[in-house]
Structure 1
Amino acid sequence: MNKIDEFRGKFYFLSNFYSAPVTYEGITYQNNEAAFQAMKVLSNDIRKQFAELPPNHAKRKGRNVKLRSDWESVKEQYMYEIVSAKFSQNEVLRRRLLDTGSCELIEGNTWGDVIWGVCRGRGQNKLGKILMRVRNELKDEKEAE
């Protein structure tokens, strides 16, 4: 196997919808989707409202907030930092990510996301690329120990 082209079943842990608490900027969220959606605003009070939300509710709430003015220029950095936090803070998930070896990670989807994933063979796969970057960084850390 040289690629993982959907984050379901055995590989659902790669999804931002996977339930794994992540502490980011002082708030613990129940999943990466909630942490990412919360970063769309600058208010810590509003961010805390995302903390306990399941991913589908967080995504819906994220569509209804007033976006911070710099969102387009900072969202990829936030995604990277949140994904990195998920796998750094959870030993079991870190091992599972490292166990994907050198497989290409592709967030294949049917809902039309061609920015973070790939749909019908088209897309930028930004989430998959971030996951591979984090995996390489974790691999380097492990080798440096």
Structure 2
Amino acid sequence: MTIYFYKIDDEYGCFSNFSPHGFELDGVFWNTSEHYFQAQKFAGTEYEDQIRHSLSPMEAAKLGRDRSKPLRKDWEDIKDEIMKKAVQKKFSTHKDIQKVLLSTKDNVIIEQTSNDYYWGCGKDGTGKNRLGLILMEVRELLKKYD
């Protein structure tokens, strides 16, 4: 069986980076994993803090995608590590959603989005599904401690 997710109010909505599951990481609180991920594009700048304090994950995403601000030089090399760090912290902090992730057993997890061919499966299913793969990696790590 394949597990699909996208919207936060769907059955597996907690897999979305927009889900309201905050956590502390790097010494501060982040409202969502989207806030953390987008802010790390500008780590060490005032823009990082502006994104952290944004009112919603959608606003954090919009700010993080603003190309008038310079991305950190190593972003393309570390973005997957940053995403995994956020996802791992989110699911280790919240036992309720950790149970949901573990309940997927060894099923494939796919972010079913039509416009993202890197983090999701893309419109035609040929995307890299990096977020789904990271969720499955985190699931394997959590199984060791369950």
TM-score by length of 2: 0.90
1:116 matched residue in structure 2? 119
Amino acid at match of 1:134: V
Compute the displacement of 1:29 (Å): 1.1
Q: 1:61 maps to what in 2? A: 63
Displacement of 1:46: 2.9
What's the CA shift for 1:7?
2.9
Aligned position for 1:92: 96
Q: Deviations over 1:73-118 (max 9, x none)?
A: 01110001100000011111111111111111001112x2010110
C-alpha separation in 2, matches of 1:48 and 1:23: 14
- Alignment check: 8 A CA contact 1:27 1:48 kept: no
The residue matched to 1:10 in structure 2 has which SS?
coil
Describe the SS at the equivalent of 1:60: helix
1:116–1:76 Cα change, 3 Å: same
**Residue aligned with 2:59, SS:** helix
Q: Gaps spanning 5+ residues in structure 1: where?
A: none
Contact 2:110–2:129 (CA under 8 A) maintained in structure 1: yes
1:1-145 aligned within 5 A: 2-8=1-7, 9-43=10-44, 45-53=46-54, 54-64=56-66, 65-110=69-114, 112-119=115-122, 120-142=124-146
Structure 2 residues not aligned, in runs of 5+ = none
Q: Among the aligned pairs, what percent are the same residue?
A: 33
- Work out the CA distance in 2 between the residues paired with 1:38 and 1:129: 22
The alignment yields a C-alpha RMSD, in angstroms, of 1.3
TM-score by length of 1: 0.90
Distance 1:52 1:10 in 2: 28
**In structure 1, how many angstroms separate the alpha carbons of the residues matched to 2:53 and 2:104?**
29
**Preserved contact between residue 22 and residue 28 of structure 1 (Cα < 8 Å):** yes
